[in-house]
Chains A and B, each alone.
Chain A
Amino acid sequence: MNNKEFIAEMARRMEMTTKESSALVQGLCAEIETFLGDEDSISLPNFGTFEVKKKLERVVVSPSTKQRMLVPPKMVIGFKASANVKELLKKLK
Chain B
Amino acid sequence: MNNKISLQDLAASFAVRKGLPKKQAELFVRTMFEIVQEYVLKEGLVKIKGLGTFKLISVESRSSVDVSTGERIQIESHSKITFTPDKGLADQVNKPFAGFTTVILNPDTKLEDMEAMELNESLLPELKPEELVEDSETEDLPDVEIEEVMPADGEEAGNVAEYEPEAEDSVVTLGEQIEQPVAEQEEEKDMKNESKMVDTEVIRQMVKNAVNKEMKKQRGVVLSWGWVAMCMLLVVALLIGSFVLGYYMGGDAHRPSSTQTVESKVTVKKAKEVKPVKAVVEDTAKSQVAPITSAAPTELQVKPVEAKPVAKYEQMPGGAYEIVGVKGEHVMKAGDNLLRIARKTYGDPALSSYIVFFNHIENPDLVPLGAVLKLPELVKK
Q: Please list the residues of chain A having a beta carbon within 8 angstroms of any beta carbon in chain B.
A: 1-3, 6, 9-10, 13-14, 23-48, 50, 52, 59, 67-77, 79, 81, 85-86, 88-90, 92-93
Closest 9 CB pairs of A and B: A72-B100, A79-B83, A29-B50, A47-B33, A68-B105, A3-B49, A1-B39, A42-B5, A29-B51
Also in contact, A72 and B47, with CB within 8 A (given A14-B27, A31-B13, A79-B81): no
Also in contact, A36 and B92, with CB within 8 A (given A24-B18, A25-B50): yes
Chain B interface, number of residues (Cβ within 8 angstroms): 65
Given A27-B18, A37-B93, A85-B37, 9 other A-B residues pairs in contact with their CB atoms under 8 A: A29-B51, A37-B92, A42-B5, A43-B5, A44-B10, A46-B33, A59-B111, A68-B109, A75-B97
Does chain A have a CB within 8 A of B70?
no
Within 8 A of A (CB), among B19-73: 20, 27-29, 31-37, 39-41, 43, 45-52, 54, 56
Contact B1 A48 (CB under 8 A): no
Q: Please list the residues of chain B having a beta carbon within 8 angstroms of any beta carbon in chain A.
A: 1-7, 10, 13-14, 17-18, 20, 27-29, 31-37, 39-41, 43, 45-52, 54, 56, 78-83, 85, 88-90, 92-97, 100-105, 107, 109, 111, 335, 340, 344
Also in contact, A72 and B97, with CB within 8 A (given A24-B18, A28-B29): yes
Contact A6 B89 (CB under 8 A): no
Q: Shortest CB–CB separation between residue B84 and chain A, in angstroms?
A: 9
Q: Which B residues are in CB contact (< 8 Å) with A50? A: 83
Contact B1 A38 (CB under 8 A): yes
